[in-house]
Amino acid sequence: MITLHRLGKPDAEVLLNCDLVLTIETIPDTVITLVTGARLLVSESADEVVERIREWRIDVARHTFGTPKLVEPTPYDFDPSR
């Protein structure tokens, strides 16, 4: 979940389940439409909301699958004759 703020109420935090987001529009305020049909007006820009969702998904993936270890390539991996 990500934390957003209701439009016009900077102290009113809202926790949003990112899996329920259907659309994010700027008309001119940021309106988030959920798959349930509910709409949420937030003070964050659409770009901020998208970035927070992106960061949340990356964090979930890291906790689920772990952080991949970098492996040094061998010469065989790049042999164009194979």
Domain edges within the chain: 2-65
Tokens coding 66: 């772990």
Q: What is the mean pLDDT of residues 54-70?
A: 80
C-alpha count within 13 angstroms, C-beta hemisphere, residue 11: 0
pLDDT at position 61 over 90: no
Q: What is the pLDDT of residue 65?
A: 80
CA triple 11-25-12, angle to 5 deg: 10
**Tens digit of pLDDT for each residue in 21-51?**
999 999 999 999 999 999 999 999 999 999 9
List all residues 6 or more positions away from 33 whose beta carbon is below 8 Å from its beta carbon: 21, 22, 23, 24, 25, 39
For residue 28, how far is the Cα from the chain centroid?
21
